[in-house]
Chains A and B, each alone.
Chain A
Amino acid sequence: MTTREWSIAAIRNDIVSGAVSAVEICRSTLDRIQAVGPALNAFNLVDADRALASASAIDRERAAGAELGPLAGVPVAVKDNMCVRGMRTTASSRILDRFVPPYDATVVARLEAAGAVIVGKTNCDEFAMGSSNENSAFGPVRNPWATDRTPGGSSGGAAAAVAARCVPLSLGSDTGGSIRQPAAFCGVTGLKPSYGRVSRYGLLAFASSLDQIGPITGTVAETALALAVIAGPDPRDSTSSRDPVPDYAAALTGDIDGIRIGVPRNFVSDGVEAGVRRAFDASLATLQSAGATLVDVELPHARSAIPVYYLVCTAEASSNLARYDGVKYGYRAATAPDESLTRMYRRTRDEGFGAEVKRRIMLGTYVLSAGYYDAFYLKAQQVRTLLRRDYDAAFEVVDAVATPTTPTAAFRLGEKTGDPLQMYLADVFTVSAPLAGLPAISIPCGFAGSDGSADRLPVGLHLTGRFLDEPTLLRVADAYQRLTDWHTQAPVLG
């Protein structure tokens, strides 16, 4: 049951065999985006002319008898915080609303070299800061399963676009859960690779020790294909891993006999909605039926992961976002002739950034300032070390750690916007993996109501693996999808 009606492999095979042209695939993709995209507000930009020109180039290559790349003719959407040369890239921020990058992100160059056709840029929380996609200067994205609910964030548009069958592959970025949480809310597969596995060159930086780009797809098999294309060392990112890229597709054997799955029972016992809990327990039983062994593990510092995450990421953000000053690119506030440079900076940033970005810059500036650095920032970095040690200990006895991706299914638009702390607490199960640099994936594992409603909302199973051991992580997740059909179910749209 691993195939979906419209997969990356099926599209490529049909193009290679000549059953369909890349231009035909591209046109049907653009039609689909036009039909469902506006109601979901999933795209900040669709560049039909550029996409059709890329598709047409693939068709010419095929006609000339060239060997086609692994993503030949596959339509891809890119989160709007990654640079595509000549294509407006905004990070969903007013401060960059007219920025046109003069270069490609490494992931974009690799996708195009593999034959992918980039159709546009997806909506996200401003500078990837948010868990609901409501912090976008271009309005919220709507969840394809229930349009009065959030798609999650910050890669909300990227997840919604795959869930709504606009594209079979989108790229998201994940700092504290921004790929995995929207993947869970939208019923799709989302992978945050190990830190350094994928180059960050051309990703607009939010928190540089945590940020990582990863694929969002319908299935684990497609995620493996996409990861193989974007992973690998990059001389332009000194934090990219030099380790060779394994054969991810070959790791998907379906055999998880003897695999040990760790379950932090104490950690997942509180605050998890009943429907999410049922789906999670059932998913563990499915893995067990396939030969996996369940092992209780302790992650004593996982409960501190949210404060650690918000102290570390805001500190790094306050530094990274200092570059937006109205001089080199982006928005500049109108100034009177006698106003100072400093005042121009301050007004530009106040008018150009939204509330959540300003909140995080303020918080990060505070925890880095004299008198608070040791008590907050340094302390958070020390607890980060303890959290890493928790995972090191767990991975001595297990091969993967399982939790729900989120404590609840998708919440309603507007439900948490008035209370930033409540919004942060929703990230409880996703912030630990990036703090420890580990790979983690969310896959659909059922449906649940939420807050007492009768809505049928997707639930995500979250698996964390050893550093750079994406092969085992993908093998377990793929084995689960061979036994279930949650990932093949699609929302009914307008």
Chain B
Amino acid sequence: MSVTLTIAEVQRIAVLAHLELTEDEQRMFARQLGEILAYAEQVQSVDTSGVPATAHVHVPEGTEREDEPRPSLSVADAVANAPDAAAEAGLFRVPRVIG
């Protein structure tokens, strides 16, 4: 498998990633991501038959706890960093979702 990325593929990934790329960025990423993926393809030559995947190197046991209410952030603290909040109501404001 050789990797070349078309502008259309870059646009498809950008939609999945919630990124609005300029045309310059789309051209740059098509070239750079193609080069990086072509290099990364070398992993496909490694024999991994029967080898399990490592998602995490260390998973401690006994990390569960009783589900008891504990103090948490106040609503005022939670909305304090929002770019647009209805602070008095304790709500985040976003553009209209339903028409």
Contact = CB atoms under 8 A, between A and B. Distances in A.
Interface of A: 98-100, 102-103, 194-196, 209, 235, 238-242, 301, 304, 307-308, 310-311, 318, 322, 325-332, 335, 339-347, 349-350, 353, 355, 358-359, 361-363, 365-366, 369, 375-376, 378-386, 388, 420-421, 424, 435-437, 467
A339 B25 CA distance: 22
A347 B83 CA distance: 14
A307 B94 CA distance: 39
A347 B54 contact: no
B43 A327 contact: no
Contacts of B89: none
A209 B53 CA distance: 13
Contact of A421 (B39, B73, B84, B97): B39
A362 B19 contact: yes
A242 B82 CA distance: 36
Interface in B50-90: 51-60, 62-63, 65, 73, 77-78, 80-84
A381 B95 contact: no
A310 B41 CA distance: 11
Residue with the highest number of chain A CB atoms closer than 10 Å, among B10, B52, B55, B78: B55
Contact of A304 (B32, B42, B83, B92): B42
B8 interface: no
A155 to B, nearest CB: 21
Contact of B92 (A100, A327, A344, A378): A327
15 contacts: A102-B73, A209-B56, A304-B42, A327-B94, A330-B81, A341-B95, A346-B18, A355-B25, A359-B33, A361-B17, A365-B17, A379-B46, A380-B40, A385-B54, A435-B54
A196 B32 contact: no
Interface of B: 1, 10, 13-14, 16-22, 25, 28-29, 32-33, 35-37, 39-44, 46, 48, 51-60, 62-63, 65, 73, 77-78, 80-84, 92, 94-97
A422 B22 CA distance: 24
Given A102-B80, A344-B94, A349-B19, A362 B10 contact: yes
A361 B36 CA distance: 13
B7 to A, nearest CB: 13
A94 to B, nearest CB: 12
Residue with the highest number of chain A CB atoms closer than 10 Å, among B14, B17, B53, B80: B17
B53 A382 contact: yes
Contacts of A350: 19-22, 25
Contacts of A209: 55-57
Contact of A239 (B40, B53, B58): B58
A359 B39 CA distance: 15
Contact of B40 (A329, A365, A376, A384): A376
Nearest to A425: B39
A420 B36 contact: yes
A434 B5 CA distance: 30
B29 A195 contact: no
B81 A381 contact: no
A369 B16 CA distance: 9
* Top 9 closest pairs, chain A to chain B, by CB: A437-B57, A381-B53, A329-B81, A332-B83, A346-B20, A382-B48, A307-B40, A102-B77, A238-B63
A308 B43 contact: yes
Nearest to B73: A102
A340 B14 CA distance: 17
Nearest to B20: A346
Given A346-B19, A382-B52, A365 B58 contact: no
B83 A388 contact: no
B13 A322 contact: no
A384 B53 CA distance: 7
A311 B40 contact: yes
B95 A362 contact: no
Contacts of B84: 332
B95 A301 contact: no
Given A350-B19, A386-B51, A195 B57 contact: yes
A233 to B, nearest CB: 8
A98 B55 CA distance: 34
Nearest to A322: B18
Contacts of A345: 18
A358 B19 contact: yes
Contact of B58 (A195, A329, A381): A195
Given A328-B92, A330-B83, A380 B43 contact: yes
Residue with the highest number of chain B CB atoms closer than 10 Å, among A99, A350, A378: A350
Nearest to B22: A350
Contacts of B25: 350, 355, 358
A351 to B, nearest CB: 9
Nearest to A384: B54
Contact of B53 (A98, A375, A385): A385
A241 B36 CA distance: 34
A354 to B, nearest CB: 11
A240 B55 CA distance: 16
A195 B58 CA distance: 7
